Structure 1
Amino acid sequence: MSGRLDGRVAIVTGAAGGIGGGAARRFADEGALLALSDINGPAVEAVAQEVRDKGGRAIAVRCDIAVPEQIEAVVDATVQEYGTVDILANIAQGGLDEHHLLEDATPEEGLTAYQTGPLQSMIFMQKCLPYMKERRYGRVINTASGAAVSPRPGFATYAMAKGAVMALTRVASQEWGQYGITTNTFLPVGRSDAFDLTEQGRAAAAQIETHSPLRRFGTPYDDVAPLLVFLASEEAGYINGQAIGADGGITFIA
């Protein structure tokens, strides 16, 4: 590894596994000081311990992203441990265990997708802003999905939430760029346990493996996380307000 994130303080949400876990491990290998959060407390602590066992620095904070007070606690714990926040990788998303056709989608399902998608991203961003603004440096990376730009039947509320994340990101890029903060969205497709939660997810995984232009399903650490490292690094200081895919070419982003 090149040490592209040496000394940078990074919050990674959804870090217990999947894309978040891959990002946490890759950030650690690049020298970042980590604050890892996830609703699965024991699992995210295990990732943090793995980082520490390899000589890195990481704390784990259990967080239900549907609860604003717990989001604030993650940021507070990060600042208490490291003094600031340089990087926010918003990867967590709830409401992944139920997907319905639009005609069958419920208000509760929509509210869960919204609350655990764009709303929690906004709150994390707001809580991190004062520290990034003070240092005139920040990297915010929000997570959307190809479902927002090339939607599939059965993912109405999920696609709605991810589209809102992209809109939120673009607004922040216009408001916060003056402070040296870049805000971008990445759209990953990587093999994770989330695909196994629903029938639609399993079907989507099978379709990806069959139809990927690269004829393979990328992994979080090797194929998706390198893009996150780049967007979190100083090298990406002129990339702002963009939506960038790491999906093997499955989704075309206008």
Structure 2
Amino acid sequence: MIGMEVEVEDDMVEWYRCGGGGAAAAVGVEVSELRVELEVERQMRRKAEAVSEVLAAELEEERRRRGAAEAECRRMRGEVGEMRAEVERALEEVDDERRMLRVAELWREERVQMKLADAKAAMEEALREIAAASAATAIADDDNSSSSGGGGGGSPTTTGKSSPTSQQISQATTSGGQPQLLHRREVAGGGENPHIARGIKGFVEFPRAVRVRPPREERVDLVSNLECQRAQLRALSRHRNPPAGVGLADAASHNLVL
């Protein structure tokens, strides 16, 4: 641009020398207009350069932000992967816990069923023993009523009850479910069961009572009392059902004195 201005000025000087005359004023106006346009162009170029610098700075900032955003995305992607792995592990642990709870519930139900079966067996055994004792008591009562109606007296060594016949013994054995053992055991003092004693005397009464678990110190006494009661039950069965062919004197020797 500067070289162009120099050339224009040289042309004007040469034109004046050649006698351009009255057109000099018009040429001066054109030159001034060109200078104004040139100045405007310079200002526009400066503004364009400034805008270009600003845009370059903004582009660099945008690139920097883009790199930071990509790095943050990569970091978050890694965190999401770790969290997903943790969630999967947690789900696996929950599934394992559920399976363990199912197995524990099945075991608990199995234990309950086993305990119920044991309790049922014990209850059936007790009912069989009670049925045998009640049948023996009924047979003895029938014998007593028949003997008292006939007018015959019993042996003085007995308790006033005659021995049942072999047919009655077989009926009592089949109604009781299991034959009673004939082994004799000595009964310790203080361990008698009043219900068994009442059964021996001719009647049985079992009032309802609340079972209380004894402390550890009384369990030994409880076991001895149970053994005593079992011995009384065996004595009751021997008393009510003596062996066939044994007389009243032999049957009286096996009775339990209360």
TM bin, normalised by shorter chain, reads under 0.3
- TM-score, normalization: structure 2? 0.20
Structure with the largest fraction of helix = 2
Larger radius of gyration: 2
